[in-house]
Amino acid sequence: MPISAYDAGVARAATTSDVFNAIAEPQRRQILVLLRAGERPVTEVAQELGMTQPGASKHLRVLREVGLVRDRRVGKQRMYGLDARGLRPVHEWIGGFERFWNGSFDRLDAYVQDLKQARQEE
């Protein structure tokens, strides 16, 4: 039995309690990229990314709840800004793969150097 769009949305919302799940949503990653340039009100986030204001608000709320976005009141507007400290778990997790790839590139470089040496000796 296929899952309805409503059911899929509910299931997705229930899995956004950590940073990894929050950034799994492409539009949330776009919001983070946009906020790297500085604080913005929700209306500007929505306009820049072609979203509805309620949709942008929902994504910003999820990002705020996992510690990736902070907000503050400026008059009647709420300004949203990036809090990249929340990305530390992602950075640490990716670090293990970075070490893997660096080791792989080092082995590849050694192999290429061995091939060059063998050609010079021929």
pLDDT, tens digit (0-9, with 9 covering 90-100), for 15-70: 456 899 999 999 999 999 999 999 999 999 999 999 999 999 999 999 999 999 99
pTM of this prediction? 0.69
Encoding tokens for residue 51? Answer: 């979203």
Torsion of CA 10, 13, 17, 20, to 10 degrees: 120
Strand partners, 40: 80
Mean pLDDT of the chain: 84
Q: Would you place residue 119 in the very low, low, confident or very high pLDDT band (cuts 50, 70, 90)?
A: confident
pLDDT for 96: 81
pLDDT for 54: 96
Class for the domain spanning 1-82: mainly alpha
